[in-house]
Amino acid sequence: MDQEFYDQTALNAARFTQIPDTKKLFLPGGQPPAVGSTFRNPDLAETYRTLADRGVDWFYRGGLGREVARTVTNPPVTPGTRTVRPGFMTAADLASYTAPFRPPTRVGYRGMDVYGMAPPSSGGSTVGEALNILENVELSRKNPVQALHHYLEASKLAYADRAAYVGDVNVPLRELLSEGYAKERSCLISPGTALVAPVAAGNPDGSYGRCPKPAGAARPLGYEGPQTTNLVVSDTWGNVVAYTLTIEQFGGSGLTVPGRGFLLNNELTDFSFVPSPTDPNSLAPGKRPRSSMAPTILLRNGRPLLAVGSPGGSTIITTVLQILLNRLDLGMSLPAAVAAPRATQRNTAATLAEQPFIDRYGPALTAKGQKLELFTGPPPTIGAATGLEFLTRSLVQAVAEPQRRHGGTALVVDPG
């Protein structure tokens, strides 16, 4: 148990106490296990063993799927403590579910290929569009304030398009990631004066001219939970995985499948719940909610160079984008790029920033019209990234947060 796991468990203690299997797992003796103690989950170990023996059909079409559906439709809550409304998931829903392979998004940036997660995640499209916009500007490590100003402006524009076009619908992905559209959007940015946010979306119609008028009104940001997990890993042959998963908010739904050792998520809260026929993320049968997961891999000359990702809900995108800016344009090492103070501009009236960012860049950015306010969370930090970089073909640098969320874990395993 590290401090972060302890804090998240303590934050959820009140509702975990009311769900017998969750209380038994996470609150033995009525309290979160002490920091430094060993957390054991024998139910989950047995679930993994059975899954390995029986295969994934046991989950989608077998007994485990029926147990999941039963937990949703008949929530196992201690009588008299709270009311949890039953859900509507059935075993047939799991049996008909598919996890399709989706080709990654791809853009070029500073001579590198940047690959990301395709819709209905908005990570790859939004990071990619922002990088395309920034490609039209010469950014220098000698002028970090100017680079950060353009980073914030590109984020405003990309998030405006995210809200207008990205969801589990027919996303105009090719046009959103086209160089012509990026040039059209970038011409709205002034090097000395910030755009007043929220800005309206553009019109990725394939016909691009000089600074056309924005297409309609801006959309609100919407809610997205912060409890996401990210890891990156490479093997001895240079294969790379960037992997992001989520249960939405801290503790997910709070419901542990009895005897199975895992929580169910509440990911449906990522939908937009204000009815709108023009909202690409509106709630509808058969749709998947939009996420901001942004596992990102960079290739140089066809070989992996860098991989990075983060938790943080809708701040994931800006976290990954700012790390890439720090590393590729401002000349920081990857550890420094991850550790640097952050700001997140998601097409909102004010840019939310960590206090060290405000202290270092606030006056200079305010002079350009940027409005900065303190990011308070929870948690009180923006993102919690992990990354790796190939310094040579045989030398890999593994990087995690030194302080955010009590610090992450980065290891290089040498079997020799």
Q: Is 252 exposed, middle or buried (0-12, 13-18, 19+ CB in 10 A)?
A: buried
Radius of gyration, CA atoms only, the chain: 22
* Residue 158 in tokens: 């990309």
Model pTM?
0.94
Neighbours of 20 (CB within 10 A): 15
Q: 3-state DSSP: the chain helix, strand, coil percent, rounded to 5? A: 35, 15, 50
Report the alpha-carbon distance of residue 26 to residue 38 in Å, rounded.
12
Within 8 A by CB and 6+ apart from 202, the residues are 157, 160, 161, 181, 184, 185, 212, 214, 215
CA distances from 154 to 157, 240, 406 (A): 5, 28, 30
User: How far, in Å, CA of 245 to CA of 347, rounded?
Assistant: 25
For residue 393, pLDDT beyond 90 = no
Q: Which of 138, 126, 27, 114 is nearest to 78 (CA)?
A: 27
Q: Which residue, chain included where needed, has tokens 């309206």?
A: 200
pLDDT per residue as tens digits for the range 262-275: 999 998 889 998 87
Q: How far apart are CA 165 and CA 159, in angstroms?
A: 10
At residue 416, the pLDDT reads: 62
Q: For the residues 205-221, what does the mean pLDDT come to?
A: 74
Q: Higher confidence at residue 300 or residue 216?
A: 300
Q: Does 389 have pLDDT greater than 80? A: yes
Query: Per-residue confidence at 224, pLDDT binned at 50, 70, 90?
Result: low
The Cα 283–Cα 367 span in angstroms is 41
The more confidently predicted of residues 228 and 184 is 184
Q: Phi, psi (5° rounding) for residue 353? A: -145, 155
Per-residue model confidence as pLDDT tens digits over 135-187: 999 999 999 999 999 999 999 999 999 999 999 999 999 999 999 999 999 99
316-324 vs 144-165: helix crossing angle, rounded to 10: 140
Buried b or exposed e, range 206-218, using 16+ CB within 10 angstroms? eebeeeeebeeeb
CB 70 within 8 A of CB 83: no
Least confident of 62-71, 80-89, 116-125, 393-402: 80-89
- β-bridge partners, 396: 390
Please, are residues 310 and 337 in contact by the beta-carbon 8 Å criterion?
no
Active-site positions? 228
DSSP string, 190-205: -SSS---SSPPP---S
Helix (H, G, I), strand (E, B) or coil at 386: strand
232 pLDDT tier (thresholds 50, 70, 90): very high
The 372-374 sheet, strands edge to edge? 343-344, 351-353, 372-374
Position 120 pLDDT exceeds 90 = yes
pLDDT digits (tens, 9 = 90+) for 314-324: 999 999 999 99
